[in-house]
Every structure is written in structure tokens, then in C-alpha cells.
Homo-oligomer: A and B are copies of this chain.
Amino acid sequence: MNRLERLRKENPLVVCITNDVVKNFMANGMLAIGASPIMSGEISESEDLMQAASALLINIGTADRAKAHLMDEMMESANENGIPIIFDPVGFGASRFRVDITEDLLARHKVALIKGNAGEMLALSGSESRMKGVDSAEAGNTTEIAEAVHRRYGVPALVTGEKDALATEHGVTTMVNGHGLQGKITGSGCLLGGITAAFIGTADTFEREAVVDAVSYYNLCAEAAAGKCAIPAPGTFIAGLIDELYLNDDTLLEDSLVGGI
């Protein structure tokens, strides 16, 4: 199935309640693949936006109490309108506050996918985190962490790292594309959340393959961007990554390295 082709035809509206650091980068990356991102800061917009949306992306980085309330309302409207929610617990474990709002939001609303880096998802799984900052990743065993989060919350869980792992009721899928520079730029994981939301929003029902394709497409574009840098470095890479997201199509996915458990 040509998911990207369909995405570029449908231009799914993805409502993003996301952190202040990455809004521009996320919007550009999502436009590049053909999605229509919209960001909102107003609680009373939730019903209007959710009636038109194909997906809702929730990213808790830089959230405060008011924004947690906004997320709560958006997620409520999304659930009522049958809109899939992608939840990214950025910096989970860095503060009691982030733990509290995450657990509260996940308890109150049904999400389609939880995604995060190994440190965040390890903490979310109930195990102890040794996380520092929001960008650090632990090597860890992403497969086990994904399974643990999936078990705990009963929803698909995507853990990013050198080996990305997606755990669903059908088992674990691993993906090994990507480039080290992704860890050297801010918002790399956040944008993946937005792209995954767009892919999920394009499918008629939740499909594991939509997530796998989103992750693989993103990571293959990162490889291509890094490969074109004369000297691989993050400033040039950022622009190159946006370029590749725009220039490639479904055929790129033929190179994806995906495995079972």
C-alpha cells in the first residue's frame, strides 16, 4: 500500500499540542510529508478542531498546568470524535509534574500509540529511569521497554533508539534505520511523533504497518540527509532532513530494515 501517496492526496489535518521548542521544526517536517499541521493554545477550539482532524498529537515537553488542561480537553474531544491520539511523554521522569500529568492523561483518555525514547519509556514502564535532560537516550533494550509499556497501558508502544521497537498485541516489530545525527538535533523524536500521527491519521483504522512505515520513512530520510552532508553536522542536517522528507516517496520504504522479535 502506498501510504505516503495517500497521505499526500488527503493532507490529513493533524492537531498538535506540542512543546514550544519544536513547533516550527515539527510544522515544517509535517508539511514536507504532505500533512496539514495545526497548533492550538486555546481550550475552546478543541471541539471545532477535533471535528476536522485526522489525528491528535500530544507532546508534554514544556507543558505547564494550563497546557495540561488544554491537552485534557483536546484528548476528550478526540475520544468523542473517534480521532486517534499519539502521545509523546517528552521528559517523563525529569519531574514529578511530568509524571503526574502523563499518568493522569493516560488514565483519563484512550490513546492509539504511546511513543518516546528509551529513557522516557523505561520510566513510563514503571522501571527506574536514569534519565538526564530530555534528549538523552539509554541504550537499554528497546524491545523489552516497548513490551513493558504495552503491557502496562494496554496500547501500542513505540520506543525509539538505535533499534526502534513497536510493541502491539501482535508482538514486537523492530526497525533499525536512522542516523546518529538525529540524536544531535532538538525535536527529532517530536517530529517523528508528528509524522507517525499523520500516517496513523491516513489509515482507516489503527494499523501497525502505518507506524512502521512512518518510522522507517523518517529514519531513511535521515540516512539520506546525512549521506548528502559534505561533513555530517547538525545544522546542515536539519535542512537536509526536511528536504528528504519532501523529496522522497513510498519507494524509499523498499530499503527499510524491519524485523520481528
Contact = CB atoms under 8 A, between A and B. Distances in A.
Interface stretch (A25-33, A104-112, A141-149): A25-33
What bracket does the count of chain A residues touching chain B fall in? 35 or more
A41 B62 contact: yes
Contacts of A236: 239-240, 243
Contact of A11 (B31, B41, B64, B133): B133
A65 interface: yes
15 contacts: A13-B133, A21-B39, A24-B25, A28-B234, A31-B185, A37-B186, A38-B91, A41-B63, A41-B64, A44-B65, A233-B244, A234-B246, A236-B239, A236-B240, A238-B242
Interface of A: 11, 13, 19-25, 27-28, 31-32, 36-45, 48-49, 52, 61-65, 67, 91, 94-98, 132-136, 184-187, 231, 233-236, 238-244, 246-247
Given A45-B98, A52-B132, 19 more contacts: A11-B136, A13-B133, A20-B20, A24-B186, A24-B187, A31-B184, A36-B136, A37-B186, A38-B94, A41-B64, A42-B95, A43-B64, A44-B95, A44-B96, A45-B96, A49-B95, A184-B246, A231-B243, A233-B246
